Structure 1
Amino acid sequence: MTNDKSRVSFTILALVQSTLIFTIALIMIPMPKIANDFALSSSQLLLLQVAYGLPFSGLLLFGGRLADRYRGLRMFVIGLIVFGASSLFAAFSPSFEILVSMRFLQGIGGALIAPAAMAVLRVLFPDPAAFGRAMAIWGGVSVLGSIVGFVASGILTTWISWRWMFGVPILVAIIGLAAARWLLPADRSENTSNRPGLDPLGAILATLGIVFTSYGLIAVEDHSWTSAVVWGPLVAGLVLLASFLLVENKVRDALLPPGFLLDRYRSIGLLGMLLAAATSALIQFVLSLYLQQIRNWSPFSTAIGFLPFAVTLIATNLAAPALVGRFGARMVTIAGFILAAVGWGLLAGIDHDTAYASGLLPGQIILGASISLIFSGAAVLSTVNVPEHQTGLAGGVMNTAMELGPTVGLAILMSVASIQAEVVRGYASAFGTAGVFFVVAAVITIVLFRRSPVVAEKSANS
């Protein structure tokens, strides 16, 4: 495969990956318009909000297993067909029930695509160093989809219907299917000796455990922790996840092999993915509320206010791979943790009269840079020394961490915010607490690797 063809193929895979995250955010700002169109209650709005994310996050592990067993390109194509077709029907949904169903199918398609795309990426770049460089870029791709979806939905839905936003995933699915036919590499071997079994019991327990736990955490936004709507799904989800871990220690072809998450590089990489995704979600969620509800900004103005954040993400993402190659993924990740702590520290001074340019913008820019650094470094750490036949698993685990980050982060930090009687003081507390989390993450990473040479993650990028 020529270098030019590899670059084009990588660009298309990255476009597809970012679109999966874009699709989460595309209905966030126009949600009030959708609620008005279908006369939705608060419970229906919550269901619409989680209809894509729950199957997406819950099925990623099983999607990874399918990619490892049946090969990435095949599952990539199947996922794109499901994703594209459901996006088309979502755009023309005549009722709330159909829209929710199509969002659910979008999530299933996304859960097949994300790990399969990484498996295809591994075939595209079989050399470990080339794959490491690709992952350093890949890490920042998803967060770009999130912020672009957020900004685009705020700007475009000012003039056009929210239904047109589904045109993006439809178009990208068509591009991805065309690339799979003419550009993307076929699997190198048809040898089935190292292909794992399906582990159906593990898949069911993991999927239901993640879905129930995530739903309980999302419900915290509208209910207290003592509400049955919250603790019921949480308890059920945690019991299912505990059962999943017990089962995985006994089955032959475990969906999540014991010890897979205990590798130092992988554990820090996944922690970075989770924290960076939580940061992206928190700043979008809280600052959009602050600007629109406290400062009375319009959705359009709010979206424009996030443009510097988006530009910083893109610029830093372009520079991050070179930094990873020079200093190692671990050092870049630590630098991202420290920068994030500084950015949240600046935003922790927010009050009712905080000026955008001098009070909000510096924190936004620093957080944008930190997120890109963390994602790039963490993506490399998450995939260092992963065997080729477990690439789908690595992709599923990495994307699961990315999806759980916003859910867990918002549940915890908005609960911290709710302790304060005054809303803006609550936002400040949440930001300060987020900064503490990143300080702790940096310390853990430094201590964990204090006597370890920077070998594995640099060799992957040399």
Structure 2
Amino acid sequence: MTLISVLLPAIQRDLGLDRAELALVNNAYAVSFCGLLLLSGRLGDLLGLRRTLVVGMVAFGLASVANAAATSFAVMLLARFGQGIGAALTAPAAMALAGIVFRDPQRRARAIAIWGGLPVVGATSGILLSGVVANWVSWRWAFVVPAAVVGLVLVLLPRVMPPAPETRRIRVDVLGAMLVTAGLCGVCYGLVEAAEQGWAAAGVLVPLLAGLVTLGSFALWAARAEHPLVPLSFFRSRKRLMGLLGVMLASSGTFTTTYFLPLYFQQQQAFSPLMTSIAFLPYGIAMFATGLFAGWLAVTAGARRMTAIGFAVGAAGLALLGQLDVASPYVGTLLAGLVVFPVGAALIFSAATAATMDGVPDEQAGLAGGVLNTAMEGGPTIGFALPVSIAGAHTSRLTGGGTDAAVATADGYGFAFTIAAAAYVAAIALSLLTLRRR
């Protein structure tokens, strides 16, 4: 998702895309990934986790190669959709296999907590890698890297992965699969287009409302079906619901920072793509360093305490970034926010993932991975629509009053970060209340 963010200007120039086409290329991955995660998670339980992982990785790798070779808008768009489909198959199966490989409960909990911190590491790596690639070689090489990773995984998988458990006969809830996939795709598309068209546009309201109605129909069907795609009993756990909310908020905050700050560095501070990547180095180092012990902390200190601490640290980091203006020096509150926020996000991811997966039986491992990844993907989708809308509205209000456009844009970014910090503060109390010991 973040690999393409720094590359968008170069892709637009080489392929001759207009703004609407560029937005579709940027968002196609998120729509297909988000829409198919729940179905893909259930397919892992049905067809076998290892088989689903291999199929997803192959699809992701082939789509990445197609992105690298794309010479037109249509090919690029289809390849981005293909990447999202491959990722949707891969992510739930990979997470479920991590829980199966580590049979000891303590080691399993720590492994899953570590897994929970990997998406933030991936998001940061995308920013760092894409800036380097854009500076020295063609943007096309950025898509070769994930294809190479796929090749490495396929070579190592038979050597390091134990034999997959026997697949079980599970009835496929075809109607439920159609409803949830169509509903999630509609909601995700409406949200990502809201940032481009505005909330009142027909191209936003129609898919958004249709998606919500379809998801409501899915919930009614799941409550009545004998073998639903996603049993509603899966969401009865208060701890699991708070874990999913934590994952959504952490991923939303991460996407907000990795979306606004590259724009700020390149537009307001005139940084090159390479300098933008270098500016994110402290962010990446803080993320990697926290990830080294976040899994251990999530298990030893407990999900309740670590989730609340993560939200507190994350809120402090977002509040520091909220001081952003057009003349903010890099060394100061901006750098402090770049270091503090990823520490909080990594702690939230690990603790919330551990809370979500706690007590999930093996036969629902793929389903749990699909639900968790849907929350993880839903965060960035919402984190694209709401903060961009908030920042845009604040910027429009300032420019309408005569404020310079560059100043108003930077202030809009800072205002969006401040609102996000307030949401994290509210989440502290909610996590302490929801995850309290019985």
Sequence identity of aligned pairs in percent?
40
Given the alignment, which residue of 96, 105, 117 partners 2:82? 105
Matched, 1:31 2:8: yes
The answer to whether the Cα contact below 8 Å between 1:73 and 1:180 also exists between their aligned partners in 2 is no
Give the AA of the match of 1:255: L
Give the AA of the match of 2:330: Y
Q: Compute the displacement of 1:337 (Å).
A: 0.5
What is the match of residue 426 of structure 2?
A: 440
Matched, 1:57 2:34: yes
Matched, 1:237 2:214: no
Tell me which moved more, 305-314 or 243-252.
Answer: 243-252
TM-score (normalised: structure 1): 0.89
Structure 1 segment 426-437 matched on structure 2, within 5 A: 426-437=412-423
The answer to whether the Cα contact below 8 Å between 1:68 and 1:119 also exists between their aligned partners in 2 is no
Given the alignment, which residue of 78, 93, 97 partners 1:116? 93
What is the match of residue 176 of structure 2?
A: 202
Matched, 1:185 2:159: no
What is the match of residue 136 of structure 1?
A: 113
Structure 2: tracts of 5 or more residues without a match: 399-407
What is the match of residue 368 of structure 1?
A: 342
Aligned-partner Cα distance in 2 for 1:346–1:82: 41
TM-score (normalised: structure 2): 0.94
Deviation per residue, 1:330-383 (Å, 9 max, x gap): 211110001111111122222222111112011111101001101110110110
Q: Compute the displacement of 1:145 (Å).
A: 0.8
Aligned-partner Cα distance in 2 for 1:410–1:91: 25
Q: Compute the displacement of 1:446 (Å).
A: 1.0
The answer to whether the Cα contact below 8 Å between 1:144 and 1:313 also exists between their aligned partners in 2 is yes
Cα RMSD for the two superposed structures: 1.4
What is the match of residue 401 of structure 2?
A: none
Aligned-partner Cα distance in 1 for 2:276–2:121: 17
Give the AA of the match of 1:96: F
Q: Secondary structure at the match of 1:276?
A: helix
Q: Secondary structure at the match of 1:354?
A: coil
Deviation per residue, 1:50-88 (Å, 9 max, x gap): 221211111010111011111100111111121112222
Deviation per residue, 1:239-292 (Å, 9 max, x gap): 111111111111122111113123111111111111111111111111122222
Given the alignment, which residue of 352, 361, 379 partners 2:326? 352
Matched, 1:279 2:279: no
Give the AA of the match of 2:155: A
Give the AA of the match of 1:396: G
Aligned-partner Cα distance in 1 for 2:149–2:263: 30
The answer to whether the Cα contact below 8 Å between 1:71 and 1:119 also exists between their aligned partners in 2 is no
The answer to whether the Cα contact below 8 Å between 1:123 and 1:188 also exists between their aligned partners in 2 is no
Q: Secondary structure at the match of 1:260?
A: helix
Q: Compute the displacement of 1:327 (Å).
A: 0.9
Matched, 1:388 2:362: yes
Matched, 1:246 2:220: yes
The answer to whether the Cα contact below 8 Å between 1:347 and 1:428 also exists between their aligned partners in 2 is yes
Tell me which moved more, 259-268 or 106-115.
Answer: 259-268
Structure 1: tracts of 5 or more residues without a match: 1-23, 454-462
Aligned-partner Cα distance in 2 for 1:51–1:205: 20
Q: Compute the displacement of 1:100 (Å).
A: 1.5
